[in-house]
């Protein structure tokens, strides 16, 4: 390992490097999406890739998400590994039928004899001051669909490695990118991948309360944990990384140690990934719990106008209030 293997990068650049490496390693990897070629995408994640790899491998598509996903399914059947970009979270629903009715089911339909290695990149979540369809967290729709894998990095290091692992997977992978983290820098080790794709990690050790989160919410939880430490409360933070399949082994081990669990997410609470975690922990670790599992979520409403996002999205105060309620039980 040399000093060039360790770099301080924003997540956007880490993703760009990861995509570039995947394309260099396998000439069957293709990029598809609206404005991803000449422009480099709305968030510039694919910047420079068309110049380097050509218009046959980095394709600007019409504004038609269903067509993008459908074409990717066909290309996967012919041996390619398409990587689709959805410009914003809320734009994915025109492609929802292709993803859930076709892509998720095809491997099972072919009895495993045909694989569909399609990656769908979805910039998601709030904290950028935009409006509805630009700040939503629709991950639960896809976590609910058997046949899809679903991951979300929270750090530049994970973004660099997880996008390459997703592209190498023979299963379809929904790759949810927390767009508010695109410009946040972090250390990326270009020679050591760390945890494998479908494993959660303990981002901070603690003994009083476990908090699990994913994507951009991980940094918010880490901030809350620092405040709690000043007040004498020890928080263990789990970065989920994978939402389908969920890594219950890591979650349950932590809950059996602390006896308390708070789940934090930007998505609405009803029928969410956080609700699934709460139900499973109550079922499998009931006698280890000292208090009910608590959820801190976005509200069960459409995403509000930008000026109200601070009231909608969970912040450190709402997370700490849940920690206090858990400890007081």
| Residues annotated catalytic, as ranges | 134
CA-to-CA distance for 322 and 144, rounded, in angstroms?
A: 26
Q: Say which residues have a Cβ less than 8 Å from residue 175's Cβ, sequence separation at least 6.
A: 119, 120, 121, 122, 151, 152, 162, 163, 166
Phi, psi at 55, each rounded to 5°: -75, -15
**Token reading at 128:** 């950028």
| SS percent in the chain: helix, strand, coil, step 5 | 40, 20, 35
245 preceded by a cis bond (ω within 30 of 0): yes
The number of beta carbons lying within 10 Å of the beta carbon of residue 216 is: 25
Whether the Cβ atoms of residue 150 and residue 203 lie closer than 8 Å to each other: no
Which of 220, 261, 211, 269 has its CA nearest to residue 240? 211
Interatomic CA distance for residues 94 and 66, integer angstroms:
6
H or E element that contains 42: none
Alpha-carbon span 75 to 281, nearest angstrom: 40
CA angle 176, 4, 151 (to 5 degrees): 15
Helix (H) or strand (E) holding 250: helix 248-258
């Amino acid at each position: 390992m040399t000093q060039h293997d360790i770099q301080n990068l924003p997540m956007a650049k880490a993703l760009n490097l990861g995509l570039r490496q995947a394309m260099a390693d396998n000439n069957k990897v293709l990029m598809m999406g609206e404005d991803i070629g000449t422009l480099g995408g709305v968030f510039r994640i694919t910047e420079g890739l068309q110049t380097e790899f050509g218009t046959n491998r980095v394709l600007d598509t019409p504004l038609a998400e269903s067509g993008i996903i459908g074409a990717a399914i066909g290309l996967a059947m012919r041996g390619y590994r398409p990587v689709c970009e959805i410009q914003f979270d809320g734009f994915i629903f025109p492609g929802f039928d292709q993803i859930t009715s076709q892509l998720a089911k095809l491997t099972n339909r072919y009895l495993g004899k045909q694989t569909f290695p399609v990656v769908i990149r979805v910039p998601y979540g709030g904290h950028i001051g935009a409006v509805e369809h630009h700040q939503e967290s629709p991950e639960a729709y896809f976590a609910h669909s058997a046949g899809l894998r679903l991951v979300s990095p929270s750090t530049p290091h994970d973004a660099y490695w997880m996008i390459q692992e997703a592209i190498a997977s023979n299963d379809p992978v929904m790759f949810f990118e927390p767009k508010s983290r695109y410009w946040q820098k972090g250390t990326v080790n270009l020679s050591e991948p760390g945890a494998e794709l479908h494993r959660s990690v303990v981002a901070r050790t603690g003994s009083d309360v476990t908090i699990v989160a994913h994507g951009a919410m991980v940094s918010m939880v880490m901030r809350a944990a620092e405040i709690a430490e000043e007040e004498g409360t020890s928080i263990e933070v789990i970065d989920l990384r994978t939402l389908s399949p969920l890594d219950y082994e890591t979650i349950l081990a932590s809950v059996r140690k602390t006896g308390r669990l708070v789940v934090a997410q930007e998505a609405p609470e009803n029928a969410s990934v956080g609700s699934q975690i709460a139900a499973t922990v109550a079922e499998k670790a009931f006698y280890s719990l000292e208090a009910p599992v608590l959820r801190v979520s976005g509200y069960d409403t459409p995403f509000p106008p930008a000026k109200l996002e601070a009231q909608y999205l969970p912040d450190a105060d709402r997370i700490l209030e849940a920690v206090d309620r858990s400890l007081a039980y």
